[in-house]
Chains A and B, each alone.
Chain A
Amino acid sequence: MAEGAAPGAATATSPAAGGVPTYDVAVVGAGVVGCAVARELAGFDLSVALLEARDDVGDVTSKANTAIWHTGFDASPGTLEARLVARGWQLLGDYAEATGIPLERTGALLVAWDDEQRDALPGLERKARENGYERCEIVDAERVYALEPALGPGARGGLVVPDEGIVCPWTTTLALALDAQARGTAVRLGHHVDGVEVGATHTRLVTSAGPVDARWVVGAAGLGADHLDRAFGHERFTVTPRRGQLLVFDKLARRLVDRVVLPVPTAKGKGVLVSPTVYGNVMVGPTAEDLADRRATGTTEEGLAGLLARSEGLVPALADEELTATYAGLRAATEHRDYVVEVDAAQRYLCLGGIRSTGLTSSMALGEHVAALLADAGVELTPRTDLPPPPAMPPIGEAQRRPYADAERIAADPDYGRVVCFCERVTRGEVRDALASPLPPSDLGGVRRRTRATMGRCQAFFCGAEVAAMLVEGARGGAR
């Protein structure tokens, strides 16, 4: 019962036996935004398809996010982004509590490293108020070091933002996708949209895995959003991928950093931050490099060396800690300063473009916004009263009770007491559950994002072979 068959869900109609199913709405792109939109729309009496080019959800920009749960205090006032991030902060916070998405209310500390930056703090506080966020507080250098004693020398002052936090981007995307699926959304992985044929009553999406028809199309295609937009005949924006390289330090470094430490933003972006992660690591980054290549997810020697030097300036004790991961992600930046969310009612098409890294926080608010826009455009939205409960996500956050530390779980199922990934303390039971889930991983990366297995400091030295074997066995089991 994977999709389309959830009780009470509207199902796609087939015009003729063996024909192409027609959905009320097809959402293109299963990143965090597409998953949130599909989940929201599947809460109404609509049949929804979620099409994803890759073999897993959240496998492009969503997986390499800086994982900050933003209040929106520093957004540009009056923008759609500012409004949706503030709203999304609330929605995601509540949803994380309901589902068990790892989320920690750490707070943030924006640090001024020179007098000019210090002089910019009152302006940032004002901007936060314009954004409706009232709880910022300017503090002196002494207070900065009292809050974050491991920071390097030179801080001149700071701005405390008590409601910023950190969240697991992988679990967030997966929870929204599973929820959408449980609500009846047809999740179609490996469906790359190659062409769009707009008809009188529905649009045919020509995909790498065959055609899909839908009355409405919602584009949430991230790095490919402009391509899809052009396929509908628009010339509204061009995605210029902005690469962000990141360093992840060993968990033993976690004691060095209690909250998200932000720099004073400049025109180039929000700058390099130091942040704890929900997995118990410390992350430093991102860089901000505008690129032409939408596939340039590799790190560079200069990028890594620059971040390492920066790390040691920001938190000198990081120099003695090991790096457990380096990676790069691409933000789907455009020439516009705001999100591009526009309805083309004539073609029954809604475009979501330029959703940058804040999209993780704003995703559920974007879902609400899309629903409201569709209603305005005449789509009949009847809320369902028979929705399944939200999914219960595996506790992969360090602030949660992990299975290896849960006596009751182990007593009920000894596989939760069989640690396979020692660095991250991931048990055989958790890997097994991930492989048996309704949206199973398609490769080792997918296992990593669902369980953290092989993500630790040994990088699979001890457990990689075991986890790979489970993946192969799981795939075989699934095929049987």
Chain B
Amino acid sequence: MSGVARRTVDVAVVGSGPSGLVAARRLAAAGADVVVLEREAAPGGVPRHSAHTGYGLRDRHRLMTGPAYAARLAEEADAAGATLRTEATVTGWAGPRALAVTSPAGLEELDAGAVVLATGARERPRPARLVAGDRPMGVVTTGLLQQLVHLHDRLSASRAVVVGAELVSWSAVLTLREAGCATVLMTSEHDVAEAPAPLRWLGPRALGVPLATRTRVARILGRGRVEGVEVVDTRSGARSQVACDLVVFTGSWRAEGELARTAGLQVDPASGAPVVDTELRTSAPGVFAAGNLVHPVDTADVAALGGAHVADAVRRWLEAPALPPRGVALAAEAPLAWVAPTVLRPGDRPPPRRRLLAWSTEARALAAVRLTQDGREIARRRLPWAVSPGRVLRLPAGLLDAVDLAGGPVRLTLD
């Protein structure tokens, strides 16, 4: 095709959220030629429009607001010598490690020695949740809500229903409060709200938000503009209507995995995430993935530390591009929906932060994780905390010590 510029780089990082920026910084500091492709007009990813504090704890050992955190990570990547390109959308693949890019400068094929996919995650919108009714204005996700409020100062609503009671749901409540909109109801389909216990207890009291558990939003009311929602008590089947002028669908995360799919990478159907090993290699040589793309979702600092982890794996690949040894597959079984990473190979490092990340679809007050391989239990560990859906489950990687890396697939489940 004519008019397409061609460039080669050592590393192309797709996405400039915390994991992409930290990976870029580390690789650039090590001397690699790194280009970060960000489709938005500014780098930083989702923290950019999450104005409350809570960022930076695990990676920077201090607390910052989302925008400050995003700005700092971008500055550091830039200072280390990475090229940050905004308004640069990767639209597909031009080769095994070559990206097709659209930007105001034109079309480009960026041929990279290694590609790091760090495209993050998004919330499942209303259609994916099969909520019936008309399609009035005033139905949003947290992502859209926070952009409307923080980037565009544009929200006209006074009564919101927040669907979901995850960590991000409370982030939505705070954003609504800041915009002068009351949260008249928060719903959770589970027996207990998904957010961590302190927030679960404090949230409703401190913020005055009524929380309805075992409650499903079945229908949106209103035609031109939202007028309310119909909710169902999932135990009794009783229905009632709640008046509101905004519905915020929160959480229920899904990997933003289009590039993983179009590259033909192995993808976990439960999360939409590309399958990775503990070095964060995907199923394609020289293509890596990090951050919430591989675990939708954990907190931003965990994503950032994944970016640091993948950088070292990328560096080794650039030094000696060799195929990794055969590994053992790790699979989640109900009530776990997914686990990441899912490939264990001899000689590889443990996963980032020495944690396996998993997602449960059920709440368990007392739970133990169990690993089986070739029909026998190889590890079992009682968890010191409760398991909740809508929240990532962090498991010590030491569980994997018992895995026979020459054996058959490993299954992970909850007891």
Contacts and interface: CB of A to CB of B under 8 A. Distances in A.
A464 B132 contact: no
A299 B87 contact: no
A444 B122 CA distance: 21
Given A459-B141, A461-B122, A464-B147, A410 B107 contact: yes
Interface stretch (B50-58, B148-156, B191-199): B148-156
B68 to A, nearest CB: 20
B140 A404 contact: no
20 contacts: A298-B132, A298-B134, A305-B130, A407-B4, A407-B106, A410-B104, A411-B106, A415-B104, A417-B103, A418-B87, A418-B103, A422-B39, A458-B125, A458-B143, A459-B126, A461-B123, A461-B143, A465-B154, A468-B148, A472-B154
Contacts of B103: 417-418
Interface string A291-332: 000010111110111001000000000001011111100000
Contacts of A227: none
Contacts of A410: 102, 104-107
Contacts of B4: 407
Interface string B117-135: 0000011111110101111
B132 A408 contact: no
B1 interface: yes
Contact of B89 (A297, A299, A419, A465): A419
Contacts of A459: 125-127, 141
B137 interface: yes
Given A299-B132, A407-B1, A417 B105 contact: yes
A248 interface: yes
B132 A300 contact: yes
B104 A418 contact: yes
A314 to B, nearest CB: 17
B144 A323 contact: no
Nearest to B126: A459
A199 B395 CA distance: 82
A325 B130 contact: no
B348 interface: no
Contact of B141 (A301, A324, A460): A460
B224 to A, nearest CB: 9
A170 to B, nearest CB: 15
Closest 4 CB pairs of A and B: A407-B3, A459-B125, A414-B104, A465-B147
A451 to B, nearest CB: 16
A329 to B, nearest CB: 11
B341 to A, nearest CB: 21
How many interface residues does chain B have, given as a range?
35 or more
Contacts of A469: 152, 154
Contacts of B144: 460-461, 464-465
A419 B105 contact: no
A417 B141 contact: no
A404 B92 CA distance: 12
A319 B135 CA distance: 24
B151 A462 contact: no
A427 to B, nearest CB: 8
Interface in B157-209: none
Contacts of A404: 89, 91, 102
Question: Chain A, interface size: which category?
Answer: 35 or more
A405 interface: yes
A417 B132 contact: no
A299 B133 contact: yes
B2 A465 contact: no
A304 B106 CA distance: 42
A303 B218 CA distance: 13
Interface string A375-413: 000000000000000000000000000001101101100
Interface in A327-372: 327
B258 interface: yes
B218 A327 contact: no
Contacts of A209: none
Contacts of B261: 252
Contacts of B140: 460, 464
A465 B156 CA distance: 13
A242 interface: no
Given A322-B124, A322-B254, 20 more contacts: A295-B223, A298-B134, A299-B132, A323-B130, A326-B130, A405-B91, A405-B102, A407-B2, A410-B107, A414-B104, A415-B104, A417-B87, A417-B106, A457-B128, A458-B122, A462-B40, A462-B122, A462-B147, A464-B140, A465-B151
Interface string B284-304: 000000000000000000000
A418 B91 CA distance: 12
Interface in B255-296: 256, 258, 261-262, 269, 272
A300 B137 CA distance: 18
A425 interface: yes
Contacts of B126: 459
B187 to A, nearest CB: 16
Interface string A18-37: 00000000000000000000
A345 B230 CA distance: 51
Contacts of B151: 465
B345 interface: no
B128 A323 contact: yes
B219 interface: yes
B3 A408 contact: yes
A422 B15 CA distance: 12
B102 A324 contact: no
Contact of B258 (A252, A325, A466): A252
A313 B348 CA distance: 42
Interface in B60-88: 87
A472 B154 CA distance: 10
A443 B137 CA distance: 10
Contacts of A252: 258, 261-262
A113 B272 CA distance: 32
Nearest to A410: B106
B156 to A, nearest CB: 11
A225 B2 CA distance: 52
Contacts of A324: 125, 127-128
